[in-house]
């Protein structure tokens, strides 16, 4: 009689579970309470609380100071921040898997170059926030670790109402500020 090992039995189950598992941030999901940091490691921010009331936009980027993020993606949100406000989106948060000293310096540089806005730059240092939303990807070749996919999430009263997640992780296309503005 042929013995079937436990691991041989487990393999297909694991695969089918992965195939069926819900992926990426989805409409209706609650914003996680996983801590992120603003300007310094001592300044914790809980986005589930920050977004609990009203309309907000969360913008995820692969890396502070990377060309696509610095020259195109986030400048679009800075330049259009009044247009988002006019549609009731008073809060825009930018999230990167970087430390808070880096996100602070990045926010200051982008403000100097593109003008003042009320956009807040947040450090998801370990990637735990992006992981909770299933929005991490393997960026080891470029950044040395896992990073956030590029995305924009529209949030109302603490829940996601629309998602704009780049299918290739890094392009500035679906999540471009002007395209998001057209759809909200």
Q: Contact region for ligand BEZ (CB under 6 A) — 14-22, 49-57, 65-73, 98-106?
A: 65-73
Query: Cβ atoms within 10 A of the Cβ of 117, count?
Result: 19
Distance between CA 164 and CA 184 in Å, rounded?
A: 11
Q: Is 62 in the site for ligand BEZ (CB under 6 A)?
A: yes
Which residue, 29 or 166, has its beta carbon nearer to ligand BEZ? 166
User: Residue 37 pairs with which residues in a beta bridge?
Assistant: 44, 123
Angle at 163 between CA 71 and CA 25, to 5 degrees: 110
Contact, 170 vs 68, CB < 8 A? yes
Tell the smallest beta-carbon distance from residue 14 to ligand BEZ (Å).
29
Which residue, 56 or 170, has its beta carbon nearer to ligand BEZ? 170
10 is catalytic: no
Q: Is 64 in the site for ligand BEZ (CB under 6 A)?
A: no
Residues in the chain: 184
Active site residues: 69
Contacts to ligand BEZ by CB under 6 A: 62-63, 66-69, 142, 170
């Amino acid at each position: 009689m042929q013995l079937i090992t436990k691991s041989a039995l487990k393999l297909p189950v694991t695969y089918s579970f992965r195939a069926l598992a819900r992926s990426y941030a989805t409409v209706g999901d609650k914003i996680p309470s996983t801590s992120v940091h603003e300007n310094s490691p001592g300044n914790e921010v809980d986005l589930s609380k920050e977004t609990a009331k009203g309309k907000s936009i969360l913008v995820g980027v692969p890396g502070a100071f990377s060309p696509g993020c610095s020259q195109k993606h986030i400048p679009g949100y800075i330049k259009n921040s009044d247009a988002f406000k006019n549609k009731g989106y008073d809060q825009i948060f930018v999230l990167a898997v970087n430390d808070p000293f880096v996100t602070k310096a990045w926010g200051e540089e982008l403000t100097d170059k593109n003008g003042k806005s009320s956009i807040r730059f947040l450090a998801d240092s370990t990637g735990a926030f992006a992981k909770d939303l299933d929005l991490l990807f393997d960026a080891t070749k470029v950044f040395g670790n896992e990073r956030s996919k590029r995305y924009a999430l529209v949030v109302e009263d603490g829940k996601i109402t629309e998602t704009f997640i780049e299918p290739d992780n890094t392009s500035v296309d679906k999540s471009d500020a002007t395209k998001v503005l057209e759809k909200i």
